[in-house]
Amino acid sequence: MLDLRIDAAAAAVDGDVRPASVGVRDGVIVSLAPSEPAAEVVALGPDEVLLPGLVDTHVHIDEPGHSDLEGFASASRAAAAGGVTTLVDMPLDSSPVTTSVAALAAKRAAARASATVQVGFWGGLVPGNLAELPALADAGVLGFKCFLSGSGNPEFPPVSFRELLAGLTACAQLSLPLLVHAEHDDLTTAPSGPVYRTFLASRPDASEVAAVRAVVEAVRRTGGHAHIVHVSTAQCLPLIAAAKAEGLPVTAETCPHYLALAAEDVPDGATEFACWPPVRPAANAEELWAALSDGTIDMIVSDHSPAPAAAKLTGDFGTAWGGISSLQLGLSTVWTAGAPRGIPLAEIAGWMSAAPAALAGYGDRGRIAIGLRGDLTSFDTSAVWRVDPHRLRHRQPVTAYAGRTLTGRVGRTWLAGRELALNEAAARG
């Protein structure tokens, strides 16, 4: 007997949306047809689509050390409520930062104590820790992350081009990706004040273009796999497309806020929109959507980076914490923006589940297929709802999406066939 069978009139299977009965036994999908009885049978509604659990490979969790910003308990609750069954933590916002095996052990212990979804970890590449990379790989990190510009954390400084070359060489030897924050410090200026267009000008498109050009050259010299995080400007796209055409191991991601928000709509003083790189004009977003469709950009991840109101809502783009809280909102945001553009939900599932799973080396998830984990989520494509920050599961009730009306909402989420509680009464923690 199956442990669970989910009967869906619409499920994202094999790149399409079609009827399926997904059977799970011992945490693994074992059938896609209603051929066996089950201990529990769930029938989805006519507007619900069964999707693979999302895999978010760009999440900033600040525990240990700064769990007042975000901890594994609150982040994993937000993830589950947004259909995310696996998240991968960035290495720079905890204390200590994840640049050594000891730091990784502390991070892993914190996650083990309170996370309710699957959690993986990126290690950090910073000046002076190159020798730590093999031990971190042996300890289980999924790859490494570096910055080409200031991270905002003095414990996680940027690497030089020479250090980037050395890091990519080491990652190639370890068969792991190097994730790169691609902005060039020489082409940015320190922002100040409440005017958004001034903030936007302080981190111009040219800064990203120069950094991406350096990354592509480093890949060409070393053969290491570089993954360019949070692509915000369409001016980078020809460089990424050319690198792929050359056969270089370069992949790229973008984020919901670069696809659904627009610089023209950001009011002055609205520092809840502050992020690095910044949200750019609406015409730029159209080019990012096209780049997803043609494969230049591989995936969509949240870059969830929360902060309390005192740090975020300063009204001054020179002092506000940089980052968008969105872990729970990604799928709804992307569907709201993508559906009117004719983007199929199965394609969105590929960008938000299969592709990030492949980046992280998770061969056992990311799709609804026999033999893979029973990580699943139901998504009501017709639900219309208004974002109330105080009803989100993130620790901090601050988000750039506050008050926005979204279409599509996660209903239920299963981790290895076990339903996760998504009740509104969940306490922040």
Query: What is the Cα–Cα distance from 147 to 274, expressed in whole angstroms?
Result: 18
Question: Average of pLDDT values for 389-412?
Answer: 95
Query: What is the Cα–Cα distance from 209 to 240, expressed in whole angstroms?
Result: 10
Task: Please say if the pLDDT value at position 428 is more than 50.
Answer: no
Contacts of 290 (CB under 8 A, 6+ apart): none
Confidence of residue 244 (pLDDT cuts 50, 70, 90): very high
pTM over 0.75: yes
Confidence of residue 34 (pLDDT cuts 50, 70, 90): confident
Task: Please say if the pLDDT value at position 65 is more than 60.
Answer: yes
Query: What is the Cα–Cα distance from 252 to 428, expressed in whole angstroms?
Result: 33
Query: What is the Cα–Cα distance from 181 to 228, expressed in whole angstroms?
Result: 6
Question: Average of pLDDT values for 251-275?
Answer: 98
pLDDT digits (tens, 9 = 90+) for 277-300: 999 999 999 999 999 999 999 999
Task: Give the Å distances, CA to CA, from 181 to 121, 359, 404.
Answer: 16, 16, 28
Query: Which domains are seen in the chain, by residue range?
Result: 4-49+374-419 (2.30.40.10), 53-359 (3.20.20.140)
Confidence of residue 423 (pLDDT cuts 50, 70, 90): low
Residue 138 phi, psi dihedral angles, 5° rounding: -60, -30
Task: Please say if the pLDDT value at position 66 is more than 90.
Answer: no
pLDDT digits (tens, 9 = 90+) for 191-210: 999 999 999 999 999 999 99
Looking at the chain, the whole-number percentage of residues with pLDDT higher than 90 is 94
Task: Please say if the pLDDT value at position 429 is more than 90.
Answer: no
Helices (H), 223-349: 237-245, 256-260, 282-293, 309-312, 330-338, 345-349
Beta strands 4-13; 16-25: pairing state: antiparallel
Task: Please say if the pLDDT value at position 426 is more than 70.
Answer: no
Helices (H), 115-204: 133-139, 161-174, 196-202
Looking at residue 386, its pLDDT comes to 98
Most distant pair of Cα atoms in the chain: their distance: 63
pLDDT digits (tens, 9 = 90+) for 140-179: 999 999 999 999 999 999 999 999 999 999 999 999 999 9
The one-letter amino acid at 217: E
Task: Please say if the pLDDT value at position 352 is more than 80.
Answer: yes
Task: Please say if the pLDDT value at position 427 is more than 80.
Answer: no
The one-letter amino acid at 129: N
pLDDT digits (tens, 9 = 90+) for 107-123: 999 999 999 999 999 99
Question: Average of pLDDT values for 61-82?
Answer: 93
Quick one: which H or E segment has residue 254?
strand 250-254
Handedness of CA 112, 114, 118, 122 (dihedral sign): negative
Task: Give the Å distances, CA to CA, from 74 to 69, 78, 115, 132.
Answer: 10, 6, 8, 30
Residue 340: helix, strand or coil by DSSP? helix
Query: What is the Cα–Cα distance from 191 to 185, expressed in whole angstroms?
Result: 13
Looking at residue 36, its pLDDT comes to 84
Question: Average of pLDDT values for 229-241?
Answer: 98
Looking at residue 158, its pLDDT comes to 97
Which of 268, 265, 206 is closest to 236 using CA atoms? 206
Burial annotation 119-149 (CB, 10 A radius, 16+ → b, else e): bbbbbbbbeebeebbeebbebebbbbbbbbb
